[in-house]
Amino acid sequence: MTSTASTVGAYLRDLPPDRRVAMARLCSMIRRSARGVRESMRYGLAFYELDGPLFALESGRRHMSLYVAEKDVVLKHKDALTGVNAAKSFIKFSDLNRLPLDVVERIVRDSVAARRQRVAAGSVPTQAELLKLWDINEEDAAPPAKTVKLAIGKPAAAMTDAINAMAHSMRDAMVAAIDIATGSIATGNGKTPIKSSMVKKKPAAKRAVGRAVKKKSAL
């Protein structure tokens, strides 16, 4: 099963204890012996780049694997890799005690030197070429998309409550406006038509003054 860990540390924590110790030992060796490498998790592998992919580590179902981009370096030290399955681009092992760590460290150092020579000569292999060498599908090589999680805390919850209260107030105001327009008011038992007696009339004195002003204006 391909790991979904986003960091090498998380990847190591998910491994069984014996695998965790072995893989952590190799990760530490690569970081120490290959200064300048960039460590990341890509398509389920602990990945190390130096002007392109250089090393990768994987804990498989049956064995652990160290992938090496500089295949000529592996072939150079192949005879010293006794007790493990070493091919042109990877070293497979199931027990760290059977892995000659001193030889692996020389492979790491020689790979860095070979990569720097390639960079100077402008002959660094492409990622597609290396993924093919390691038998990895390029479509699966893209880094996983980052997942953004939104958590609603107290401030956001308070804002939500305020919006809901405002919506209720607007709804009540609209209902009241409709009632006035249709000539009815809300009561405890339902809606009652608005009677003329409920409408506040102007005092008689004010009505008289109003009529006098209108008559004077007419003159």
Residues 193 and 162 in one domain: yes
Residues 126 and 164 in one domain: no
Look at residues 113, 140, 167 and tell me which one is the last residue of a structural domain: 140
Residue-wise pLDDT for 141-176, tens only, equals: 555 555 445 454 555 566 667 677 776 667 666 656
d(CA 41, CA 147): 15
pTM of whole model > 0.75? no
Residue-wise pLDDT for 102-122, tens only, equals: 999 999 999 999 999 999 999
d(CA 186, CA 173): 12
> Containing domain of residue 210, as a range?
154-218
d(CA 94, CA 63): 5
pLDDT band at 83 (very low <50, low <70, confident <90, very high): confident
Look at residues 107, 140, 173 and tell me which one is the last residue of a structural domain: 140
Residue-wise pLDDT for 5-49, tens only, equals: 899 999 999 999 999 999 999 999 999 999 899 999 988 899 999
C-alpha dihedral sign at 62, 63, 64, 67: negative
In a domain, 2, yes or no: no
d(CA 92, CA 60): 10
Instruction: Give the total number of structural domains in the chain.
Output: 2
Residues 167 and 67 in one domain: no
In a domain, 146, yes or no: no
- Residue 134's closest CA among 75, 76, 73, 67? 67
- Residue 28's closest CA among 43, 41, 12? 12
